[in-house]
Amino acid sequence: MTASETKLILFVDDDPVLIMAYRTRLIQEGYEVQPASDGLEAMRCMALRPPDVIILDLLMPKFNGVEIMGFIRSNPKLKDKPVIVLSSNSIIDSDGEPILETAHRRLIKGLCTPDDMLGAIREVLTEASKA
C-alpha cells in the first residue's frame, strides 16, 4: 500500500493488550490503526476523520457497541462504512439488537487471531470497493 492508499482502521475496545496485539499485526500489513478505548472516544475519532473500517467491541464504557452502531448508521458520512464486531461469544448474536445485523462481520474474541482479523478486513474492504 502506498501512503495515499493507506486505509485507516478505527479499533474500538477497552482492552489495551488486545488492541496492541491486533494493531501490531495490522500496521505490519500497511494499515493505519487508530485505537479508541471507549465509545465516546470512538465517536470523536470518527467525527475528526472517518475511518475506512471500524472494529467494534460491544461491551465498553461511555457508550456501548450497540449505541456506537446506531451513531454510525445514522451518520451520512459513516453509514456505509464497514463494521467488524469483535466481541465475546455470549453477546455477539444480534438477537434483540437489529442494528447489529448491519455489521459486515461478527467475530468472537476468544476464537479470532490477528490473521483472522486481517482476512476479515481485506474481505470487507474488497466488498466496499465493489459497492
- CB under 8 Å to 76, separation ≥6 — which residues? none
Q: Are 7 and 52 in contact (CB under 8 A)?
A: yes
More confident: 9 or 93 = 9
How confident is the model over 57-72, as pLDDT tens digits? 988 888 888 889 899 9
Give the whole-number percent of the chain exceeding pLDDT 70.
Answer: 87
Structural domains in the chain?
3-130 (3.40.50.2300)
DSSP 19: H
Average pLDDT over residues 9-17: 94
Overall pTM surpassing 0.85 (yes/no): yes
Sole residue written with cell 453477546 = 91
Beta bridge partners of 12: 36, 56
C-alpha cell at 44: 470523536
**pLDDT per position as a tens digit, 70-102:** 999 999 999 999 999 998 755 555 555 656 777
How far is residue 72 CA from its own chain's centroid? 11
d(CA 109, CA 50): 24
The tens digit of pLDDT for each residue in 21-51 reads 999 999 999 999 999 999 999 999 999 999 9
Quote the radius of gyration of the chain (alpha carbons, Å).
Answer: 13
Contacts of 22 (CB under 8 A, 6+ apart): 11, 33, 55, 114, 117
- 102-111 confidence digits (pLDDT tens): 788 888 888 8
